[in-house]
Amino acid sequence: MTDDIPFLVEPRVFPILEAAFRPAALWNKAFANAARASKNPIQITLGLEQADGSMFHHSTLVLPGNHPNAATNFTHVERLVKFLLWSRGGFRIYISGPKELADQLRRHYRESPTGKFDADIMGSRVYEHPLEIVHTHDIPPARSTSKPLGRHLKGCRIGFDLGGSDRKVTAVIDGKCVFSEETVWNPVPQADPQWHFEQIMDSLKTAAAHMPRVDAIGGSSAGVIVNNRIKVASLFRGVPPSVFNARVKDLFLELKRAWGGIPFEVANDGEVTALAGSIALGTNGVLGIAMGSSMAGGYVNRDGNITTWLNELAFAPIDYNPRAPVDEWSGDYGCGVQYFSQQCVGRLLAADGIEIETALPLPEKLKQVQALMIDGDERAERIYRTIGTYLGYAILHYTEFYDFDHVLVLGRVMSGPGGDVIVAGAKEVVKAEMPELGERITFHLPDEKEKRHGQAIAAASLPCLA
């Protein structure tokens, strides 16, 4: 039971297929109200440091030590740090506040399975530095950078997008798409990097055949990509760690060499999602969410630039019920991937009474749900309405960490009439919980072609020609 856990607030709008959903946004609001009402709240300041010296600050209130619910302080801080780690990134976490909270965090990342997963990914793999927890009252000043991303359309370009169930490629001449193709693939279990190399190369060659020459190649891919190097990506989970380090990390650099060293840029698929939205909408302050085999998030700030933030929202918690669905990779509960992806559709089938062969891969299960939706099946609509409710509460949570007015939602899960149902459900939640926010935030659904290929076209604009 969770009824006895403080601050797990029932939402005004329940997900039809998951009554146990307890939104992070409502926890934060209830927790902050309780801290202020205690008359003696303690302010916690967190700082996350990246390898380039970027430093991000975030403050919150916790309950005084003599409060009857003081034991929940750690849950509040740990979930907050988890979100910051995967949205901002960092290998060194500063905490200004009670020393016991810093000690608890340190033990969490050293001893608990989910904490060790985050510490390994963020420390060893992304930033190549052990994850540190530093208790101090003198956190270094905030410092961050941003830079323009893409929007270069001159010349003959190839754009590609690598997802967990399909890869897409486009040929673009002076901003006009002259060829587009989607190919089903299953990269996750593949242990040989040469297989990945050849599959991607095949798509690039196919696109190149539709242009007189290739001036530049741009790509988007699931995972953490830094300076064209793959730090971590679910697409390559089947590759042994030693082989990953020897071959996969520099796979895009290898592809660049194979194309004669032409301008070649690859970015996280979430960033390219946000870029695609910013280009299509002609505006900035855009949060992009792609619902495919996993979940991707990206952010274009109000200056039209990207930041050094990771925006890996698939791992960022939005449901604080400790019995929430668990991510198969990290082992953690309530994370975005289980709410905004084909995995979510797959897990809701049983709750909805839809019988689909268990052995079918998730993309095929999704196709059957989409077909049921087109036929007017109420069960399929319930799945999409449930995802829409999740999305609305996630957006409320994201506004605490991102400054945006526009949300672009795309990806395979959003294809077909179900995408409209998801957006309608999200709007219902925002209007019910925070009407003033509903007045400000606009949801955008690209047309069917843009949903499926918009990222690849935006990816083509990444490289700058000298």
Determine the structural domain holding residue 351 and report its residue range.
146-466
Residues 180 and 127 in one domain: no
* Tens of pLDDT, residues 241-277: 899 999 999 999 999 999 999 999 999 888 888 888 8
Cα separations in angstroms, 110 against 123, 134, 154, 395:
12, 14, 49, 31
Into how many domains does the chain fold?
Answer: 2
Q: What is the pLDDT of residue 273?
A: 83
According to the model, what pLDDT value does residue 423 have? 97
**Structural domain ending residue among the three candidates 99, 128, 144:** 144
Taking only Cα atoms into account, the Rg of the chain, rounded to an integer number of angstroms, comes to: 22
Model confidence at 443, pLDDT cuts 50, 70, 90, reads: very high
Quick one: 140 and 190 in the same domain?
no
Calculate the average pLDDT of the chain. 93
Range of 31-45, 220-234, 259-273 with top mean pLDDT: 31-45
* pTM assigned to the model: 0.89
100-137: burial string, b at 16+ Cβ within 10 Å, e else: ebbeebbebbeeeebbebbbebbbbbbbeeebebebee
Q: Is residue 208 located within the same domain as residue 128? A: no
Q: What percent of the chain has pLDDT over 70?
A: 98
Domain contains 3: no
User: Does the pLDDT of residue 111 top 90, yes or no?
Assistant: yes
Question: Is residue 108 domain-resident?
Answer: yes
Average pLDDT over residues 269-291: 88
Binned at pLDDT 50, 70 and 90, residue 449 comes out as low
Residue 55 covered by a domain: yes
Together in a domain, 171 and 309: yes
Residue 164 confidence (pLDDT): 85
pLDDT for res 1: 38
| Residue 370, in any domain of the structure | yes
Task: List the structure tokens of 229.
Answer: 């190097």
Complete DSSP assignment for 249-280:
TTHHHHHHHHTTT--EEEEEHHHHHHHHHHHH
| Residue at 18 is within a domain | no
Q: Do 121 and 244 belong to one domain? A: no
User: Are 152 and 139 within one domain?
Assistant: no
pLDDT of residue 318: 98
Confidence of residue 293 (pLDDT cuts 50, 70, 90): confident
What pLDDT, on the 0 to 100 scale, is given for residue 5? 85
Residue 147: is its pLDDT beyond 90? no
Q: Quickly state the pLDDT bin for 451 (edges 50, 70, 90).
A: low
Instruction: Mark whether 387 and 292 lie in a shared domain.
Output: yes
Can you tell me the distance from the alpha carbon of 386 to that of 462, in angstroms, rounded to the nearest whole number? 35
Report residue 453's pLDDT band, with 50, 70 and 90 as the boundaries: low
- For position 3, what pLDDT does the model report? 57
Q: Judge if 215 and 363 occupy the same domain.
A: yes
Residue 49 has pLDDT above 80, yes or no: yes
Is there a domain that residue 2 lies in? no
**Residue 154 lies inside a defined structural domain of this protein:** yes
> pLDDT-based confidence at 448, cuts 50/70/90?
low
CA distance 148 to 150: 7
Is the domain of 107 the same as that of 58?
Answer: yes
Q: What is the structure's pLDDT at 447?
A: 72
Of 144, 171, 190, which closes a domain? 144
Could you give the 3-state DSSP secondary structure of residue 106? helix
| DSSP one-letter string for 14-71 | --TT-TT--BHHHHHHHHHHHHHHTSS-EEEEEEEE-TTS-EEEEEEEE--TTSTTTT
Asked if residue 6 is part of any domain, the answer here is: no
Report the CATH number at residue 169.
Answer: 3.30.420.40
Q: Are residues 218 and 123 in the same domain?
A: no
pLDDT of residue 213: 97
- CA-to-CA distance for 107 and 105, rounded, in angstroms? 5
355 with 463, same domain: the answer is: yes
Which of 144, 169, 198 lies at the terminal end of a domain, its last residue?
A: 144
Q: What proportion of the chain, given as a percentage, has pLDDT over 90?
A: 78
Are 359 and 217 within one domain? yes
